[in-house]
A and B are shown apart, each in its own frame.
Chain A
Amino acid sequence: MSATAPVISAQNVWKLFGPSPESYLKSMPAGRSFDEIRADGYIAGVKDVSIEVGRGEMLVIMGLSGSGKSTLVRCFSRLHDITGGTIKVDGQDIMGLSERDLIELRRNKMGMVFQSFGLLPHRTVLDNVAFPLEMRGQDRHDRRERALEVIKLVGLEGREEYFPRELSGGQQQRVGIARSLAIEPDIWFLDEPFSALDPLIRREMQDEFLRLQEMLGKTIVFITHDFDEALRLADRIAIMRNGAVEQCDTPDQIVMNPATEYVAKFTEDIDKARVVHAKGLAKPVNGHALEGAPINGGATIHELARVLVNDNRILLPVANDKGVVTGVLERDTALNVLLGAE
């Protein structure tokens, strides 16, 4: 397997809810809309979705409630059996796995965090975190050591003996995160992990999450209904509606070039300058004569505001984090984004 092969690859995935979804899907005429399917007595939880997640990438699936985002992520982990299409994890078709193999896959490769935490109320923090290790039969001493390690990682040291109901919401979700990390998964699913928390704690947990991700570099599928959260965390965002993916792209592209009206509605009120990066706006060099010091491609337009206003060059060279010039930014375009004029 090459290094660039996707970790999760979904092809034309369908998940229908209803009396006999398989036979309905087979007989269904192509191009049927969500509402037409509903009129036939079925709910299209996931509707013809094809998407890939690369190694070490953070894909955020964004959508309002009922858009199918939670269903899609449950298809990836086969908590739901899909109705049509294929899902491959590390090149392996997960619908073809036996119960035993599926359990092995989850025990060794996948971790998941839930919106309402899903903690076992009768177990202490330590026992909750050690739970997946206990299930795969690791011995008591080993699992205790590993659990203590992850508890420390999420900053819950000293609370090992507490029961979930003795903790605040934020702390409970830290336990959920620690549990999902205990088996050192390659793939990390997070289903609206911060939605049940109040806004201040949510912000703090996002920072914490970014810190963890920087350290661990997992492949992540993150679900949220909060567009700001998606912009803040994502490498790529997939926006879902009625079970289908409306657009899947980098935050810069989604903000600058929304593919559909539905996506545009989300981006309308966003301060684009705070989202769009210089490299996202840059064009290929193509023989333009460049002069002067390059600007950092990884910075947002907002962060570059002072330079953009004060500089008087028409074209600004853009460099990557190694200092190599990769593109060229028209100062006017950037100023338009900054001033909110299209």
Chain B
Amino acid sequence: MWVALSYACWGISIVLALWMLYDWFKIDTNYSEDVLTSSREGELEAASEKHRI
């Protein structure tokens, strides 16, 4: 049973790694770099929360 579990672990690892690589490729080809890297630190805090004492 443990040996079968070991093979299953390899299988799951390979499938999920390939899925992530596929999704990475899909996202990087469908979206521009400007959109993907558009996150800004503190943006929400500055925009939505009033900074008053």
Q: Do A and B come from one complex?
A: no
* Interface residues of A, Cβ cutoff 8 Å to B: none
